[in-house]
């Protein structure tokens, strides 16, 4: 370590490193918030050979931080414009832009091998994991990063030396049980998700989007019912009774989807009023009748349209609708003069916006009805969701939301500022320089906080060594040259899997393709698998095993696992491939390490793990993590502050750190909240942070899960 440390001190003064900077090939994954800053910092540092990949196009809400983009660029490719603008201030830089998805097969292992460094500025977990695996397979260093608000982090992943991005499982995104959404919401997010995923789709979306949810609800009900049967007569199954009653309440004529279709001769506002009465009056009354639901909570109160909008105002609505059509208004709230997005609407205003939004959809965007999907940049959709969720909230006594806040929650908008991305870009490049200088012992993971308790804005930590039990980097990766058009699954199994890898009972997995052998399989499974044997690799289910596919081979009985990257190769000759394939890489000989090794991990590792895990939280954003109340943001932004009773620098020897007692108290840090320091012992901030420049607030749908 000492050698690398002193080498690093003077490395930048050496011609050797300066030359490497000029010639190094760098892959920048992402040209968004972090990507723009990173491209700038790279060329200003002297890097000249850069390729950048980004799938996204530029939006207005990017312009407050993605400083390479101008208003007239809106709608164009981020990667292409970023490359163009950077060349404007650095004409000597060569920047190749790919307006593409990183997961396309052309960005295969060979593509990654063409780079000296891979730098991530991504906004979603899926792509991060993909890049992580390709970097491991191609044996290329990865510097990974993420930001959210004032928080950010940079981590370094060197195969065989430091943890890979997936050494620790990422928390799964939070989801809501359907029955909470349908029957017993108690937080603003519940009514927003209900308005966006249930009511919006019911009125404007594809019919199957709703029926999927209906199916799921029925499964929940069935499950609850069977649970009660198992409990026998002694158990008065509250859950089952509730489920059955609620199902009866909501699945009666109510769930007949045709009710929500507009009828012949019905005006759009009459239709809207009928929907209103059904959803906020009838449905709520039915639910109130399910007494079991309200034993421990207050029942909702139905609302009536006549009370919120007297007939006189209903007439005014018709005028507002005609004016909106005449002027081509895109927004129902603005058509009603509700111009302050941060001001909450009154119940009457919510009702007016809801009716007008439904009517505008039908009168102005008729062709979309039946196929629309919620888009946070669609003003009318945001109006609808805000009003619909607020009305439901008022039934349930849940605080209502302003348009601005409802939009943030419904659209999974992650807040983002330029400064954090700038700082993170600098830290990424510093780690990149260390790697380029060959000073692997001095690479660090760095965490950025808003109000660090010990005045340390930047916190550094030694990266942990790879987890021996990691399913991704703990596993050996092999590459298999084979003709996927001619080789069959049967020949792959006999020649490669069983013979060369000595796997006994293989379990093969690749995307939508699964093949299993061994005991415990059903007859029909065995039959289905046997039928696959004669198919060529390329024609297997789930898109086939093709060039770039990563096939996971496991054998539970052997505690064995390996990833095989398929390299489609035609014309393999007899000499180099007598068996019809070439398997490259370190073919494993010993089974991987046993589980208990993990228990000896140092506490410090857990700190890092928690922080890195937070990345994932942010990466797969669901509305749960958007703003609700300040108190909730703390938890849901995945921001963890871990206190440690530890005085020495974190940079110390991991072994020494392991000996330090770490109480590992977790506290959530809220936005703007200053961390109070415990009196008794000197705390040192330890990181943690969350991550993701989820720049554009991915519109990932909420995952709806079962309740029990």
| Residue 167 is labelled as binding a ligand | yes
Q: Please tell me the distance from the alpha carbon of residue 650 to that of residue 658, in angstroms, as a whole number.
A: 11
Q: Please tell me the distance from the alpha carbon of residue 482 to that of residue 570, in angstroms, as a whole number.
A: 7
CB nearer to another protein: pick between 47 and 280: 47
Which residues in the 502-531 window bind another protein by CB under 8 A?
none
| Residue 535 is labelled as binding a ligand | no
Terminal-residue alpha carbon distance, the chain: 51
Q: Please tell me the distance from the alpha carbon of residue 422 to that of residue 33, in angstroms, as a whole number.
A: 9
CB of 617 to another protein, least distance (A): 17
Site for another protein contains 426 (CB under 8 A): yes
Asked if residues 83 and 97 have their Cβ atoms less than 8 Å apart, the reply is yes
| Binding span for another protein by CB under 8 A among 264-272, 357-365, 485-493, 665-673 | 665-673
Asked if residues 142 and 165 have their Cβ atoms less than 8 Å apart, the reply is yes
| Binding span for another protein by CB under 8 A among 194-202, 249-257, 403-411, 569-577 | 403-411
Which residues in the 645-664 window bind another protein by CB under 8 A?
649, 651
CB of 261 to another protein, least distance (A): 31
* Active-site choice (179, 395, 439, 510): 179
Burial 645-678 (b: 16+ CB within 10 A, else e): bbeeebeeeeeebeeeebeeeeebbbbebebeee
Site for another protein contains 407 (CB under 8 A): yes
CB nearer to another protein: pick between 374 and 515: 374
Site for another protein contains 149 (CB under 8 A): yes
CB of 612 to another protein, least distance (A): 18
| Residue 412 is labelled as binding a ligand | no
Site for another protein contains 436 (CB under 8 A): no
CB nearer to another protein: pick between 446 and 477: 446
Q: What residues form DSSP beta bridges with 154?
A: 145, 446
Position among 3, 15, 519, 600 found at the interface with another protein (CB under 8 A): 15
Site for another protein contains 562 (CB under 8 A): no
| Residue 124 is labelled as binding a ligand | yes
Please state, in angstroms and as integers, the Cα–Cα distance from residue 159 to each residue in 260, 467, 474, 480, following that order. 56, 11, 10, 20
**Closest listed residue to residue 316, CA positions, set 339, 346, 349, 347:** 349
| Residue 132 is labelled as binding a ligand | no
Asked if residues 114 and 25 have their Cβ atoms less than 8 Å apart, the reply is yes
Helix (H/G/I), strand (E/B), else coil: 600: helix
Position among 222, 315, 457, 659 found at the interface with another protein (CB under 8 A): 457
| Residue 483 is labelled as binding a ligand | no
| Residue 128 is labelled as binding a ligand | yes
Which secondary structure element, helix H or strand E, spans residue 565, and what is its range? Answer: strand 560-568
Q: Please tell me the distance from the alpha carbon of residue 144 to that of residue 29, in angstroms, as a whole number.
A: 10
641 exposure class (CB count in 10 Å sphere: 0-12, 13-18, 19+): buried
Which residues in the 337-356 window bind another protein by CB under 8 A?
338-342
Which residues in the 580-639 window bind another protein by CB under 8 A?
627, 630
- Per-residue contact track with another protein, 281 to 320, x per CB under 8 A? ----------------------------------------
Asked if residues 401 and 345 have their Cβ atoms less than 8 Å apart, the reply is no
Asked if residues 508 and 552 have their Cβ atoms less than 8 Å apart, the reply is yes
Site for another protein contains 67 (CB under 8 A): yes
| Binding span for another protein by CB under 8 A among 156-164, 440-448, 466-474, 699-707 | 440-448
Helix (H/G/I), strand (E/B), else coil: 559: coil
- Per-residue contact track with another protein, 368 to 397, x per CB under 8 A? -----------x------------------
Q: Please tell me the distance from the alpha carbon of residue 216 to that of residue 212, in angstroms, as a whole number.
A: 6
Site for another protein contains 438 (CB under 8 A): no
Site for another protein contains 471 (CB under 8 A): no
| Gyration radius of the chain's alpha carbons | 29
Asked if residues 581 and 572 have their Cβ atoms less than 8 Å apart, the reply is yes
Clarify whether 179 is annotated catalytic. yes
Helix (H/G/I), strand (E/B), else coil: 639: coil
Residue numbers in the known binding site for ATP are: 30-35, 54, 62-65, 78, 123-128
Binding site membership: which residues?
A: 30-35, 54, 62-65, 78, 123-128, 164, 167, 470, 473
Catalogue the active-site residues. 179
């Amino acid at each position: 370590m000492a050698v690398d440390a002193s080498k690093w001190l003077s490395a930048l003064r050496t011609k050797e490193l300066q030359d490497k900077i000029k010639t190094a090939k760098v892959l920048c994954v992402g040209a968004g918030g972090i990507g723009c800053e990173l491209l700038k910092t790279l060329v200003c540092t002297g890097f000249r050979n850069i390729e950048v990949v980004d799938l996204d196009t530029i939006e207005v809400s990017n312009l407050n931080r993605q400083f390479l983009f101008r208003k007239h660029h809106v709608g164009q490719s981020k990667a292409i414009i970023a490359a163009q603008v950077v060349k404007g201030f650095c004409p000597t830089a060569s920047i190749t832009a790919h307006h593409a998805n990183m997961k396309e097969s052309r960005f295969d292992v060979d593509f990654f091998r063409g780079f000296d460094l891979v730098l991530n500025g991504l906004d979603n977990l899926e792509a991060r994991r993909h890049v992580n695996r390709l970097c491991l397979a191609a044996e290329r260093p990865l510097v990974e990063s993420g930001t959210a608000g004032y928080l950010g982090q940079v981590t370094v992943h060197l195969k065989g030396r430091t943890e890979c991005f997936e050494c620790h499982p990422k928390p799964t995104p939070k989801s809501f049980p359907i029955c909470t959404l349908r029957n017993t919401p108690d937080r603003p997010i519940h009514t927003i998700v209900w308005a966006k995923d249930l009511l919006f789709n019911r009125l404007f979306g594809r019919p199957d989007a709703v029926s999927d949810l209906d199916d799921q609800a029925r499964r929940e009900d069935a499950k609850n019912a069977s649970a009660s049967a198992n409990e026998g007569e002694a158990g008065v199954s509250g859950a089952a009774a509730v489920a059955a009653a609620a199902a009866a309440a909501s699945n009666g004529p109510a769930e007949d989807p045709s009710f929500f279709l507009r009828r012949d001769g019905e005006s759009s506002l009459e239709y809207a009023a009928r929907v209103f009465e059904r959803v906020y009056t009838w449905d709520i009354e039915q639910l109130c009748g399910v007494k079991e639901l309200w034993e421990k909570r207050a029942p909702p109160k139905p609302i009536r349209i006549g009370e919120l909008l007297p007939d006189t105002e209903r007439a005014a609505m018709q005028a507002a609708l005609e004016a909106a059509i005449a002027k081509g208004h895109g927004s129902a709230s603005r058509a009603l003069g509700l111009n302050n997005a941060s001001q909450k609407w009154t119940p009457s205003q919510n009702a007016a916006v809801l009716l007008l939004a439904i009517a505008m959809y039908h009168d102005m965007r008729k062709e979309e009805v039946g196929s629309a999907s919620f888009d946070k940049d669609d003003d009318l959709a945001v109006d609808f969701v805000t009003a619909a969720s607020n009305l439901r909230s008022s039934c349930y006594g849940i605080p209502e939301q302003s348009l601005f806040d409802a939009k943030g929650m419904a659209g999974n908008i992650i807040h983002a500022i330029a400064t954090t991305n700038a700082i993170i870009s600098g830290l990424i490049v510093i780690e990149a320089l260390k790697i380029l200088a060959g000073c692997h012992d001095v690479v660090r993971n760095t965490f950025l906080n808003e109000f660090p308790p010990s005045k340390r804005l930047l916190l550094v930590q030694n990266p942990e060594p790879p987890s021996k039990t990691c399913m991704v980097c703990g596993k050996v990766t092999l590459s298999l040259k084979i003709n996927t058009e001619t080789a069959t699954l049967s020949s792959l199994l006999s020649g490669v899997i069983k013979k060369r890898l000595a796997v006994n009972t293989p379990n093969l997995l690749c995307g939508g393709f699964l093949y299993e052998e061994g005991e415990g399989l059903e007859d029909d499974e065995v039959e289905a698998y046997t039928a696959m044997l004669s198919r060529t690799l390329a024609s297997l289910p789930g898109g086939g095993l093709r060039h770039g596919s990563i096939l996971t081979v496991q054998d539970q009985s052997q505690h064995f696992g390996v990833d095989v990257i398929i390299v489609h190769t035609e014309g393999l000759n007899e000499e180099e491939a007598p068996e019809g394939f070439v398997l490259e890489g370190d073919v494993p000989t010993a089974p991987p390490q046993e589980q208990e090794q993990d228990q000896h991990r140092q506490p410090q590792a857990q700190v890092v793990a928690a922080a890195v895990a937070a990345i994932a939280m942010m990466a797969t954003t669901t509305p749960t993590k958007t703003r609700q109340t300040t108190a909730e943001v703390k938890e849901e932004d995945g921001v963890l502050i871990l206190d440690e009773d530890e005085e020495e620098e974190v940079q110390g020897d991991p072994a020494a750190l392991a000996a330090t007692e770490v109480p590992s108290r977790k506290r959530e840090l809220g936005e703007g909240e200053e961390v109070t320091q415990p009196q008794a012992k000197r705390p040192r901030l330890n990181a943690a942070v969350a991550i993701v420049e989820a720049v554009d607030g991915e519109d990932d749908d909420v995952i709806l899960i079962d309740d029990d």
